[in-house]
A and B are shown apart, each in its own frame.
Chain A
Amino acid sequence: GQNIDQPTEMTATEGAIVQINCTYQTSGFNGLFWYQQHAGEAPTFLSYNVLDGLEEKGRFSSFLSRSKGYSYLLLKELQMKDSASYLCAVTGSGNTGKLIFGQGTTLQVKP
């Protein structure tokens, strides 16, 4: 089967660092994406990992370990506007670009 797990909810303080974990078990792997989704809005792209290691993009970084089926999204210097859902998604076997999503992690940033 195909399964992607993320924590349902997290809370963090403005200015702090938070790490959102994602574990996956899929039939095939062609890359892992992170998306951000504010309430009532469309998901927007944050990062893409296909090789092991850390990808850094401003305040956001994403890490991948293919052997462990594990990824995390690291958000630094948290701002109130970072309160949103963060979606982990994997492209599985086949060259179709189909995304398999986890349920998403709702992050609340408090002052």
Chain B
Amino acid sequence: DAGITQSPRHKVTETGTPVTLRCHQTENHRYMYWYRQDPGHGLRLIHYSYGVKDTDKGEVSDGYSVSRSKTEDFLLTLESATSSQTSVYFCAISEQTNTEAFFGQGTRLTVV
């Protein structure tokens, strides 16, 4: 199994609070991605990174920010959590753009 871990695995937070999710990899892969998965929508890209300090927006980036200060860690921050951000969040890594992506086990976030 690819070395990719997400933390926390589950979190309940209140509306308006900031939340940070962490993705850690031990594969030294260049590309890292954050997706959210919701019923009826499938997986949607939030942000991605193509190197240290190199990030870009995905299709549902509003209300989220990311940082990648070192190869192994990719952080996703919800600046002020809203109920619409209740979802399952998956981190993924890939070595190249045309190779398979490996997914973390997911973080189930509930905003109350």
Contacts and interface: CB of A to CB of B under 8 A. Distances in A.
B74 interface: no
Interface residues of B, number: 28
Contacts of B59: 100
Contacts of A99: 33, 35, 43, 45, 92, 101
Size bin of chain A's contact surface: 20 to 34
B103 A33 contact: no
Contacts of B58: 98
Contact of A43 (B44, B56, B90): B90
A31 B31 CA distance: 16
Interface in B25-62: 31, 33, 35, 40-45, 48, 50, 56, 58-59
A91 B97 contact: yes
Interface of B: 31, 33, 35, 40-45, 48, 50, 56, 58-59, 90, 92, 94, 96-106
Interface of A: 30-31, 33, 41-45, 48, 50, 87, 89, 91, 95-104
